[in-house]
Amino acid sequence: MNQQETMVWVSGADEGYVMPLAVTIRSAIDHLSPDRRAEIYILDGGITRASKDRMERSWQDDRISVHWVSAEGSDIEGLPVSLHVTSSTYLRLAIAERLPSSVDRAIYLDADMLVCRDLSLLWDEPQGDASVLAVQDYAAPWIDSTRSLSASSETLRYLATSRPIANFEELGIDEDAMYFNGGLLVIDVKRWREERIFRQFLDCLSDHRQHVLWWDQYALNVVLAGKWRSLDLRWNQGAHLFSYPGATQSPFDSDTFQMLHQDPWVVHFCSPEKPWNYFCHHPATADFFRTLRDTAWSGYTPPRPEQYLRRLWGYHYKPVRAHWKFRTRCLKSMVGYRRRAA
């Protein structure tokens, strides 16, 4: 890869995610090597001119240029959404349709990420014949984790799901294949354009609507099955990492588990609990606000929610109680084991 080649970064948002998107891009700029440049394309899912101005002020840097790309007419309206997931979540599926024809390759970043490493290192990863480079999902590592992990493995109880593509057998997808997270992607845009991948995504979501889990990520993993290559796990530290009490309850060995906690290259706040909300336990929350201070949203503090006491119980005391109940069970098991061994 030409070391002086201008990179292409892509993200997208609607008005509800402009502040976290400002942090995502600002953090990427902060870690960019002095001799590298990037063209930034933002897929506009409904961002006001005032918010665009604030983001542009937040990203001022001679090494980058910003382009706003309309997402109107992307055929994403009417696709399934949820409380914290809007139709803008599907914008990444339309990247090849929306970017200029001169763009052949791009790094896609979700709007709820914190970049902690130079993205030049990611750009310099060889694409090979892979349609996309991505990171194995922390919450659902394999197409069928009941097979890839022992059916009796303690890890299974901590996964978000053991089968993220419920109809994988019908689709002919290998049960031992890895499942990837769509938050960070290195995309062969030219190939997506030539193979009309966006149309395949839409057909997939329509034809298998009753099986869709995790919105656009279902389409990405179905359409691109066998066509992607895995990246270092540190390029997309999923929030589900903190749902595993320890390495033995996770899909990772102890060294990897510790490394992912201590040295994430990109932090992904991929859960309903976001650092810009009042109640957030994520360990990178302070880092998020340190970067936020360098944007046009400096000084923002999350508003105290309604029904404060009820939410305080749900977000603070209930998890602590559950944690100590788990630790007590472990202690009792250890004591019982030692007594039997004696």
Q: Is the pLDDT of residue 46 over 60?
A: yes
Q: pLDDT at position 320, please?
A: 46
Q: Is the pLDDT of residue 338 over 90?
A: no
Q: pLDDT at position 323, please?
A: 46
Q: pLDDT at position 213, please?
A: 85
* 3-state SS, one letter per residue, for 22-86: HHHHHHHHHCCCCCCCEEEEEEECCCCHHHHHHHHHHCCCCCEEEEEEECCCCCCCCCCCCCCCC
Going from the C-alpha of 141 to that of each of 10, 134, 218, 269, the distances in angstroms are 25, 12, 13, 17
Percentage of the chain beyond pLDDT 90 is 69
Q: pLDDT at position 86, please?
A: 53
Distant-in-sequence, close-in-space partners of 64: CB < 8 Å, separation ≥ 6 = 29, 32, 37, 38, 39, 40
Q: pLDDT at position 306, please?
A: 66
Tokens representing 164 are: 């993220």
Q: Is the pLDDT of residue 121 over 90?
A: yes
Tokens representing 92 are: 């990444």
Indicate the pLDDT class of residue 5, thresholds 50, 70 and 90.
Answer: confident
Q: pLDDT at position 248, please?
A: 92
Query: pTM for this structure?
Result: 0.86
Residue with tokens 């932090």: 267
Indicate the pLDDT class of residue 331, thresholds 50, 70 and 90.
Answer: low
Indicate the pLDDT class of residue 56, thresholds 50, 70 and 90.
Answer: very high
Indicate the pLDDT class of residue 277, thresholds 50, 70 and 90.
Answer: confident
pLDDT per position as a tens digit, 282-303: 999 999 999 999 999 999 988 8
Q: Is 68 exposed, middle or buried (0-12, 13-18, 19+ CB in 10 A)?
A: middle
Single out the residue of 101, 74, 96 nearest to residue 192, CA to CA.
Answer: 96
Q: pLDDT at position 3, please?
A: 53
Q: In DSSP terms, which residues pair with 42 in a beta bridge?
A: 11, 68
Q: In DSSP terms, which residues pair with 43 in a beta bridge?
A: 12, 69
pLDDT per position as a tens digit, 128-172: 999 999 999 999 999 999 988 876 688 999 999 999 999 999 999
Mean pLDDT of the chain: 87
Indicate the pLDDT class of residue 337, thresholds 50, 70 and 90.
Answer: very low
Indicate the pLDDT class of residue 41, thresholds 50, 70 and 90.
Answer: very high
> To which H or E segment does residue 135 belong?
strand 132-136
Q: Which residue has the higher pLDDT, 109 or 210?
A: 109
Indicate the pLDDT class of residue 190, thresholds 50, 70 and 90.
Answer: very high
Q: pLDDT at position 209, please?
A: 85
Q: Which residue has the higher pLDDT, 328 or 27?
A: 27
pLDDT per position as a tens digit, 209-257: 889 888 789 999 999 999 999 999 999 999 999 999 999 999 999 999 9
Q: pLDDT at position 326, please?
A: 45
Q: Is the pLDDT of residue 330 over 50?
A: no
Q: Is the pLDDT of residue 117 over 70?
A: yes
User: Which overall architecture, per CATH, does domain 7-303 show?
Assistant: Alpha-Beta Complex (3.90)
